[in-house]
Amino acid sequence: MPKFMEIRDWSPGYLNVTPQHVEIMAECQACGEQRKFDRRSVPASMRQHLISEIEPHLKCAACGAKAGKLRFGSFMEED
């Protein structure tokens, strides 16, 4: 997977105002699993919620914990 460069100390606040060019990485704080987050995977009823309201609903595919954290940034091209 390409290296992910997080925008430090920044959050769009709400998912639906996250610019399309900003990539989202979901990280499990229980096991460290990271995967690209598809904003279309969020149910329509939750797309206008705060990021902090969505995070508790993220379930880790690797360990099953609900300890998700969304990080915002971009993927670097491999050299």
Q: Which residues bind Zn ion (CB under 5 A)?
A: 28, 30-31, 33, 60, 62-63, 65
User: In whole angstroms, how close is the CB of 34 to Zn ion at the nearest point?
Assistant: 10
Angle at 52 between CA 48 and CA 55, to 5 degrees: 95
Structure tokens at 65: 């914990």
User: Which residues are within 8 A (CB) of 13 and not within 5 positions of it... i.e. 6 or more apart?
Assistant: 50, 51
Least Å from the CB of residue 48 to Zn ion? 27
Q: How far is the CB of 67 from Zn ion (least distance, A)?
A: 7
15/60 with CB nearer Zn ion: 60
